[in-house]
């Protein structure tokens, strides 16, 4: 298999996870999996996101709905931070 994809089965074995966890993530639209020749995979690019969700769920006991809400808020924070940075840089134009 192409390096671009990671087998869900291997991922679950490696992290001692139940497959139902991955299933509930896909059900809630938190990650997307791809089926190739009857085996399920995730794209390598999504690995970081999957690991982050795992930590939120197992370390902080946050359920899927909570993770979804957190994702929305973090995206919003990130956009606002970008905007602040942009505005600070613009403000500098007038301060200098």
Partner 1 sequence: MEFIDYYKVLELDKTATKNDIKKAYRKLARKYHPDLNPNDTAAQKKFQQINEAHEVLIDPEKRKKYDQYGKDWQHAEEFERQKAQQQQYQQQYSGGRTGGFGGAENFGGGGFEGGDFSEFFESMFGGAQGGRQRTTRFRGQDYNAELQLNLTDVYKTQKQTLTINGKNIRLTIPAGVENGQTIRIKGYGGEGMNGGPNGDLLITFAINNDTSFKREGKNLYKDVELDIFTATLGGDLMVDTFDGKVKLNVKPETQNGTTVKLKGKGFPVYKTEGQFGDLFITYKIKIPTNLSAREKELLQELKKLQENG
Q: Which residues bind partner 1 (CB under 8 A)?
A: 14-16, 51-52, 55-56, 58-62, 70, 74, 78, 85-86, 88-90, 92-93, 96
Q: Which is nearer to partner 1, 23 or 85 (CB)?
A: 85
Burial class (CB in 10 A: 0-12, 13-18, 19+), 12: middle
Question: Measured from the CB atom, is 18 or 96 closer to partner 1?
Answer: 96
Q: How far is the CB of 29 from partner 1 (least distance, A)?
A: 19
Q: Output the six-digit token pair for 61.
A: 């006991």
To partner 1, the closest distance from the beta carbon of 38 in angstroms equals 28
Nearer to partner 1, 56 or 64 (CB): 56
Q: For residues 49-76, b (16+ Cβ closer than 10 Å) or e, as one string?
A: ebeebbebbeeeebebeebbeebeeeee
Least distance to partner 1, CB of residue 61, Å: 7
């Amino acid at each position: 298999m192409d390096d671009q994809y990671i087998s869900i089965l291997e991922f679950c074995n490696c992290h001692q996870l139940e497959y139902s966890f991955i299933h509930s993530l896909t059900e809630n639209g938190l990650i997307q999996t791809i089926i190739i020749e009857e085996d399920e995979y995730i794209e390598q690019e999504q690995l970081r996101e999957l690991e982050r969700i795992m930590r939120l769920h197992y370390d902080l006991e946050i359920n899927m709905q909570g993770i979804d809400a957190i994702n929305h808020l973090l995206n919003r924070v990130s956009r606002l931070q970008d905007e602040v940075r942009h505005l600070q840089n613009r403000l500098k134009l007038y301060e200098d």
